[in-house]
């Protein structure tokens, strides 16, 4: 029922209306892009700050890791609920809700006297971040005609790929001259500015429909995704006390209170219950997260491929700094600066990739992109304490180009394959998969590195050589996983509705 209303709302009636709406739509999308960039930047900003926080607040590495683990957990729990929010509420109130949470969380972090309030602030920030991304994607899918979506999705790719990539660099720069609070103090006026601009300029561009909220689904979602991500994070840090503590302190994990496999098993069980619940509710269009999105083969393959990319990207983003600081001996600032060009290259490539997608479709972009990613990961299995810095820089740049060639086509092809009334659910599902895969990649890479490092150190190798061996073995598994992305790339198709004049899908 809501499908017809939404489709009708987006249909041009005559030329002047289209002109008027296109200006309004561009403004709404621009504001959402800027705000999303600010909130997503915060996802990775804490990594290199852990040693500083441990010294300033007198806390253990395990306690400090909750600043990132808590953020990831909250994202994994809140994102599945955004499908409901986007159906039920209009664009402006959802935006105001997201930016209000984020701004409040930033304020709490900036003023926090100790670790407890700092973790609370990060959790509140994460609620805002979790709402913002699906809002941006769903709005773009509803407002932008199919034949020019690639270009706009290219801009979204800048936000999703560059913001987390430059987070560590920005925090490294800030921490080299200022104390840790400034990571939040500097973001606060930008967040307040986004909130004020949104309150003044954002117009309602969606058509809300009455959607019931199934409380049982919410509880199952929290226990399922929350438990699973917590278990993965614990797995990553369970053995994270081997050689090179300076480096391994950037591990995204808290010290587990019980075996890491337990919350993973519990999480999987509750996710299974969540899935069964959604399958029964979606018959009456009452699902919290409508799984009919997965009946589209293109959407499903794209989501699986995105999971592989996020695992590789987040795993590499955590391993490279550990390797650069613990093996090569770079400081935090130089490590951040070395990883900056890759983030910038990803941003520069995204608009070109978006334009190319509109012309040639996904296959000529996604296949070479997956091959480049895989080649770099295989190359990283050869790193040692004598690997030159320039080789690592080139590898990171090539990997960034490969990721840029895949993100935009995958976002556009996946969501473009869905019926209009499933856009919000598709956006929520992509967001959930990204968070869970990012946490899984981080946990897997770090756990493998730590176990192999400990094993080599026990065998008599020096600390630096043992850590280099641990990093190599983690990248080896990452390289094997990347082969699945290469295989899946050949099956991604341009959505049927992407021809001119077919902007409204089926």
Name residues whose C-beta falls within 8 Å of residue 413's C-beta, 6 or more positions apart in sequence.
Answer: 298, 302, 362, 492, 493, 494, 495
Tokens of 472: 């190599």
d(C-alpha 199, C-alpha 194), whole Å: 8
d(C-alpha 262, C-alpha 227), whole Å: 9
485 falls within a domain: yes
d(C-alpha 348, C-alpha 396), whole Å: 15
**Radius of gyration for the chain, computed over Cα atoms and rounded to the nearest angstrom:** 22
Q: What is the pLDDT of residue 375?
A: 95
* Token pair 């709005």: residue: 139
429 falls within a domain: yes
Q: What is the pLDDT of residue 18?
A: 40
How far is C-alpha 311 from the chain's CA centre?
Answer: 10
d(C-alpha 340, C-alpha 456), whole Å: 31
Q: CA dist 244 to 323, 324, 335, 454, Å?
A: 10, 11, 15, 11
Q: What is the pLDDT of residue 209?
A: 67
Q: What is the pLDDT of residue 105?
A: 94
Number of domains in the chain: 1
10 falls within a domain: yes
Q: What is the pLDDT of residue 439?
A: 75
Q: Is 199 left (phi over 0), alpha (psi -120 to 50) or beta?
A: alpha
504 falls within a domain: no
As to burial, measured by CB atoms within 10 angstroms (0-12 exposed, 13-18 middle, 19+ buried), residue 282 is middle
Q: What is the pLDDT of residue 248?
A: 35
505 falls within a domain: no
Q: What is the pLDDT of residue 208?
A: 67
Q: What is the pLDDT of residue 385?
A: 83
Separation of first and last alpha carbons in the chain: 15
d(C-alpha 49, C-alpha 68), whole Å: 11
Dihedral over Cα of 164, 166, 170, 173: its sign: positive
* Domain assignment of residue 184, given as a range: 2-498
Consecutive H or E run containing 316: helix 297-323
What is the pTM (predicted TM-score) of this model?
Answer: 0.74
According to DSSP, residue 147 is labeled G
386 falls within a domain: yes
Phi, psi dihedrals of residue 495, rounded to the nearest 5°? -55, 145
d(C-alpha 185, C-alpha 488), whole Å: 43
Query: Cβ(266)–Cβ(223) under 8 Å?
Result: yes
Q: What is the pLDDT of residue 293?
A: 86
d(C-alpha 105, C-alpha 108), whole Å: 5
Q: What is the pLDDT of residue 225?
A: 82
According to DSSP, residue 418 is labeled S
d(C-alpha 83, C-alpha 102), whole Å: 19
Tokens of 366: 């996604």
Give the domain CATH number at 13: 1.20.1250.20
Name residues whose C-beta falls within 8 Å of residue 284's C-beta, 6 or more positions apart in sequence.
Answer: none
d(C-alpha 433, C-alpha 476), whole Å: 23
454 falls within a domain: yes
Q: CA dist 461 to 169, 247, 454, 464, 469, Å?
A: 32, 18, 10, 8, 10
User: Of 424, 38, 431, 85, whose CA–CA distance to 197 is shortest?
Assistant: 38
Q: What is the pLDDT of residue 425?
A: 82
178 falls within a domain: yes
Query: Cβ(484)–Cβ(357) under 8 Å?
Result: no
Residues of the chain with pLDDT under 70: 1-21, 47-48, 51, 60-62, 65, 205-209, 211, 233, 235-258, 496-506
User: Of 487, 479, 476, whose CA–CA distance to 449 is shortest?
Assistant: 476
């Amino acid at each position: 029922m809501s499908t017809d209303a939404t489709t009708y709302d987006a249909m041009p009636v005559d030329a002047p209306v289209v002109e008027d709406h296109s200006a309004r739509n561009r403004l709404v999308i621009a504001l959402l892009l800027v705000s999303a960039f600010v909130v997503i930047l915060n996802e990775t900003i804490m990594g290199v700050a852990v040693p500083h926080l441990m010294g300033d607040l007198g806390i253990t590495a395990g306690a400090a890791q909750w600043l990132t683990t808590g953020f990831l957990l909250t994202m994994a729990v809140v994102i599945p609920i955004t499908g409901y929010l986007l159906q039920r509420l209009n664009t402006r109130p959802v935006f105001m809700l997201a930016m209000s949470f984020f701004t409040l969380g930033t304020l709490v972090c900036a003023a926090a006297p100790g670790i407890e309030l700092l973790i609370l602030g990060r959790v509140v920030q994460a609620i805002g971040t979790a709402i913002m991304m699906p809002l941006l994607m769903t709005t773009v899918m509803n407002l932008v005609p199919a034949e020019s979506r690639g270009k706009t999705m290219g801009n979204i790719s800048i936000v999703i790929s560059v913001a987390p990539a430059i987070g560590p660099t920005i925090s490294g720069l800030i921490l080299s001259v200022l104390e840790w609070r400034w990571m939040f103090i500097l973001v606060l006026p930008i967040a307040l500015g986004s909130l004020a601009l949104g309150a003044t300029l954002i117009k309602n561009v969606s058509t809300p429909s009455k959607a019931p909220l199934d409380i049982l689904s919410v509880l199952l979602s929290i226990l399922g995704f929350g438990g699973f991500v917590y278990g993965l994070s614990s797995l990553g840090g369970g053995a994270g006390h081997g050689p090179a503590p300076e480096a391994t302190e950037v591990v995204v994990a808290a010290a587990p209170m019980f075996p890491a496999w337990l919350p993973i098993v519990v999480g999987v069980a509750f996710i299974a219950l969540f899935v069964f619940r959604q399958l029964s509710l979606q018959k009456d269009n009452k699902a919290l997260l409508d799984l009919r999105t997965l009946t589209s083969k293109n959407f499903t393959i794209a989501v699986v491929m995105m999971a592989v990319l996020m695992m590789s990207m987040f795993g590499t983003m955590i391993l490279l700094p550990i390797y650069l600081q613990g093996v090569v001996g770079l400081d935090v600032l130089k490590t951040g600066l070395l990883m900056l060009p890759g983030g910038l290259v990803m941003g520069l490539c995204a608009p070109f990739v978006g334009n190319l997608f509109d012309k040639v479709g996904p296959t000529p972009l996604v296949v070479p992109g997956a091959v480049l990613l895989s080649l770099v990961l295989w190359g990283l299995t050869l790193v040692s304490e004598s690997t030159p810095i320039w080789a690592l820089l080139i590898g990171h740049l090539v990997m960034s180009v490969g990721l840029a060639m895949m993100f935009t086509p995958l976002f556009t092809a996946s969501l473009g394959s869905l019926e209009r009334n499933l856009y919000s659910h598709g956006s929520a599902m992509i967001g959930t998969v990204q968070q869970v895969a990012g946490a899984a990649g981080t946990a897997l890479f770090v756990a493998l590195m730590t176990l192999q490092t400990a094993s080599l150190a026990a065998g008599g190798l020096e600390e630096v050589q043992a850590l280099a061996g641990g990093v190599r073995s983690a990248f080896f598994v990452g390289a094997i996983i990347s082969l699945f992305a290469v295989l899946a790339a050949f099956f991604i198709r341009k959505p049927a509705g992407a021809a001119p004049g077919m902007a409204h899908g089926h």
